[in-house]
Amino acid sequence: MAKPTHVLVVEDEAALNELLKYNLEKEGYRVSVAVDGDEALVLAEETPPDLIVLDWMLPKASGVEVCRRLRARQETRNTPIVMLTARGEESDRIRGLDTGADDYITKPFSMVELLARLRAVMRRIRPGLAEDKLVAGDIVMDRVSHRVKRGARDVHLGPTEFRILEHLMQHPSRVFSREQLLDAVWGSDVYVEARTVDVHIGRLRKALMVGDEIDPIRTVRSAGYALDFETVSA
Ligand code: CA
């Protein structure tokens, strides 16, 4: 059997915490529990989880703050985060925030719904991780040998373009702002001008498109970039 998926549950309500742990373990997950934001950040650093279920109303560091800090760290930069939000205004507000969460579930929710959403998030992330190969449209990236192919053709990329493409391929169709790409590719502690992202995206496009090949990178005006095959496939 494959190694069980390790879920970090961050929730301060003891009853919900126990219910989540019980149901997730029954489903075959390995579960760690944190009861506040600070503990979550410590646990995630000690043993980086495969998946994080994060309540947004937490003592100490809030769910939003925890999410941002996890995204700024190398080990948890791409870890799927499903955020639990309260019904009403609060959940609308959080959806509008740029938290970096992969999905949101509004309380109260059923365990069946939660488990289904976690499975969906893992399906999106796992196929690539399992074989260290990412596939998007006709682009295939081998993350071990650092080779990229488009169709039968080898694509030669510089290290920065490789990391940008890797990040986009891990989250197909998701739009990333220049700042998010900077954080993901250069790290949040490095000062790089946002315009630099445009330069590298330009190089990446040039390497990916030869002859009449379709441009797989969608520029979203004043928002950022996404790798998008669904909208461009002929
Ligand atoms: Ca809470």
What's the CA-to-centroid distance between 139 and ligand 1, angstroms? Answer: 41
Q: What average pLDDT does this structure show over 195-215?
A: 93
pLDDT confidence of residue 232 = 40
The pLDDT tens digits for 76-135 are 888 999 999 887 666 666 666 677 888 888 888 889 889 888 988 887 776 544 457 888
Q: Torsions phi, psi of 232, nearest 5?
A: -110, -10
Percent of the chain with pLDDT over 70: 89
| pLDDT confidence band for 3 (50 / 70 / 90) | low
pTM of the model: 0.55
What's the CA-to-centroid distance between 10 and ligand 1, angstroms? Answer: 9
| pLDDT confidence band for 191 (50 / 70 / 90) | confident
pLDDT confidence of residue 43 = 95
What's the CA-to-centroid distance between 177 and ligand 1, angstroms? Answer: 29
* CATH code for residues 6-129: 3.40.50.2300
pLDDT confidence of residue 1 = 38
Q: At the topology level of CATH, where does 133-231 sit?
A: Arc Repressor Mutant, subunit A (1.10.10)
What's the CA-to-centroid distance between 49 and ligand 1, angstroms? Answer: 20
d(CA 119, CA 175): 22
> Domain spans of the chain?
6-129, 133-231
CA atoms within 13 A on the CB side of 220: 13
Helix (H), strand (E) at residue 89:
helix 89-96
> Which of 23-37, 74-88, 181-195 shows the lowest per-residue confidence on average (mean pLDDT)?
181-195
Q: What average pLDDT does this structure show over 166-192?
A: 83
